[in-house]
Amino acid sequence: MGLAVQKPKGHWVQTDRSSHEAWAGLTRKSPLAAQIMHLLAARVGDHNAVVISQGTLSKLAGASRRGVQNALTILERDRWIELRQIGDRGTVNAHILNDRVAWTGPRDGLRYSLFSAVVVVSEEEQPDRGDLGEKQPLRKVPRLFSDERQLPSGDGLPPPAEPALPGMEPDLPALQEPERGGKARSIESLLPFASNTSIPVPVTDSEPPLEQGRTGNDA
């Protein structure tokens, strides 16, 4: 009886042969550059960039800062990454993988690029590192669907705060909630939850149920 044939786990994905050959050449030319490429790819997640300082990257790689700088120069020259400087000192960069960033036209004399990134920071680089983990929670800003409006509720700040007249409160800056099922919730569907009651909201089969207790003020 022969041995059972084991099927490979997962799925095969076609990749570019020339990139494999270029990668083999990179690993021979600069093992540190290949290591840094692995570090970046492992952290980029669903984004296309990693923002990290040279100091933190050198600690992750176990290499000198000068060695990391040389390795990044090789990766940029060989078109493995695009480097974009954050600030004017040049010690913190966005390391972009796969796609170059797009730049907007100049407006008010400023030309800029907008892209999503993973940000990696080190405790050692923080001026308040002695207080990390002991700070008060941040204030919350709401997450809203495109057709939702803010409805202030609950207690205000203690005196000597001067509360606004009802209905005259300024809107908070809000984070845009991605649409679910291709349909946004109306503000009317949220009103029963303003008093933290548990009234169910009817939904269709194509629309997921709303989280219990969600209000226009929930983050």
Structure tokens at 132: 């990390």
The predicted-structure confidence for 189-206, as pLDDT tens digits, reads as follows 443 333 333 333 333 444
Q: Give yes or no for residue 129 having a pLDDT over 90.
A: no
- Number of Cβ within 10 Å of residue 11's Cβ equals 5
pLDDT of residue 109: 79
Torsion on CA atoms 20, 22, 25, 30, rounded to nearest 10: -110
Q: Which fold has domain 25-123?
A: Arc Repressor Mutant, subunit A (1.10.10)
pLDDT digits (tens, 9 = 90+) for 159-169: 887 777 877 88
In SS3 terms, 104-138 reads as CCCECCECCECCCCEEECCHHHCCCHHHCCCCCCC
| Range name among 24-33, 39-48, 104-113 with the lowest pLDDT average | 104-113
* Under 8 Å between Cβ of 61 and 23: no
User: Could you give phi then psi for residue 53, rounded to 5 degrees?
Assistant: -80, 160
What integer is the mean pLDDT of 55-83? 95
Q: CA dist 133 to 74, 84, 128, 217, Å?
A: 38, 31, 10, 25
3-state secondary structure of 84: strand
What the block records as the tokens of 153 is 């509720």
What are the structural domain ranges in the chain? 25-123, 140-161+172-219
Q: How far is residue 75's CA from residue 34's CA, in Å, rounded to a whole number?
A: 8
The tokens for 54 are: 């040279």
Calculate the average pLDDT of the chain. 79
Share of the chain above pLDDT 70, in %: 78
Average of per-residue pLDDT across 69-98: 91
Beta-bridge partner residues of 114:
none
pLDDT of residue 6: 64
Question: Higher-confidence residue: 216 or 21?
Answer: 21
Assess whether pLDDT exceeds 70 at residue 182. Answer: no
User: Is pLDDT of 38 > 60?
Assistant: yes
Instruction: Choose among 150, 147, 146, 148: nearest CA to 173.
Output: 150
- Give the model's pLDDT for residue 185: 45
Tell me what pLDDT residue 215 has: 46
DSSP 8-71: PSS------HHHHHHHHHHHHH-HHHHHHHHHHHHH-TTSSEEEEEHHHHHHHHTS-HHHHHHH
Cβ contact 54:69 at 8 Å = yes
